[in-house]
Amino acid sequence: MYSDEDLNSAVNDGVLQEQDVTAFRNYMQKQRSTQFQDEEHFRLVNGFNDIFVVIAAVLALAALWTLGNIVAPWFGGALVAVASWLLAEYFTRNRHMALPSIVLLLSCLTGVFAGVLVTGLETWGDVAIVPIVACLLTAVVATLHWFRFRVPITLTALAAAGIGSVIMLGMWAFDFSEVATKIITLVSGLAVFSLALSWDRSDRKRQTRRSDVAFWLHLLAAPLIVHPIFVTLAQGDFSVGLTQAGLTIVLYVVLALVSLIIDRRALMVSALSYVIYVFSALLDSVGLVDISTAVIGLVIGSGLLLMSVFWHPLRGALMKFIPQGIAQQLPA
């Protein structure tokens, strides 16, 4: 099985002609009666070998973490990070395996973060500067990893580490209030969302890894945008009444409309946990504790299934109201 990235590489290396690849893609679109971008494809698993490699890598890296911690936490984290990087040299750069690349990136960054965090806490105690330094060093490693391997999820991990360090640094050095923290989180979410849109615009047909980069950024943007708004609606203590539930549903509907416009289901999935929490708390408050899970699953699951079935007609109707200048930058 060959991916779109493989076909693009063949064109760049002169193995295939661009017009032949375009004709082949058009043929496959007709055969499948759908367009590539309609289904929001992203690379995750190419075959069972991906899963096999991930299982083997996780076992080996967990063993390295355990053995390294016998010496010191920083040594265990360093072993995991270095081993993950070396494995990525083969499975990412040479084999281009999607799922192992994601797992090896996350294990590399986790090794750096956990090693620095645990060592810092044991050395200096529970001080705010320790997680800040851990986030900053993780962001540095993520940056180096991006320029070396270009794994699509790397920019999302880099953004998360950077945002976390900025928020913690602000709370520690400048005594940020709760309101200021919410504003920074919301602004960060909007910035990540804008970054995701820029990657989407660079690949409107969603045939390259740029689309994968945007997918992961959208997954990060949604909770960053929704969380400060939801906490404000819940008055900081996550209490839920009819007013909070209604406003949360309205917020999610707005997010669903945005998802339709930009053709990204990832936004809705990423923010779904807040809707589930609201429904659960509301049903518990009226005494439906035993059946709350079943009711939530039925209502939300049915709604999402219906939206999936009618996604393209709904998007087609909605796009009629979008200005032409904006529509030209979105998937067809």
* 266-306 residue pLDDT tens: 888 888 888 888 878 777 776 666 677 788 888 888 988 99
Q: What mean pLDDT, rounded, does the chain reach?
A: 86
pLDDT tens-digit readout, 101-116: 999 999 999 999 999 9
Say if residue 307's pLDDT is above 80: yes
CA-angle at 303, arms to 300 and 306, nearest 5° = 150
Determine whether 271 is exposed, middle or buried from the number of CB atoms within 10 Å of its CB (0-12, 13-18, 19+): buried
Say if residue 245's pLDDT is above 80: no
Q: Which of 323, 224, 299, 222 is nearest to 264 (CA)?
A: 222
Rounded alpha-carbon distances, angstroms, from residue 44 to 41, 107, 213: 9, 16, 12
Q: Which of 144, 142, 64, 54 is nearest to 91 (CA)?
A: 54
pLDDT on residue 1: 52
pLDDT level of residue 28 (50, 70, 90 thresholds): low
Q: Which of 97, 99, 136 is nearest to 120 (CA)?
A: 136
pLDDT on residue 162: 94
Mean pLDDT for the stretch of residues 32-47: 61
Determine whether 66 is exposed, middle or buried from the number of CB atoms within 10 Å of its CB (0-12, 13-18, 19+): exposed
Q: Which of 212, 243, 288 is nearest to 42 (CA)?
A: 212
Mean pLDDT for the stretch of residues 42-63: 90
Please, which residues have CB within 8 angstroms of residue 183's CB and are 6 or more apart in sequence?
Answer: 228
Task: Please give the model's pTM, rounded to 2 decimal places.
Answer: 0.84
Element containing residue 25 per DSSP (H, E): helix 18-32
CA-angle at 69, arms to 63 and 74, nearest 5° = 115
pLDDT on residue 161: 95
- Residue 34 has a CB neighbour count (10 Å cut-off) of 12
Please, which residues have CB within 8 angstroms of residue 296's CB and are 6 or more apart in sequence?
Answer: 276, 279, 280, 283
User: How far is residue 303's CA from residue 268's CA, in Å, rounded to a whole number?
Assistant: 12
Mean pLDDT for the stretch of residues 193-219: 91
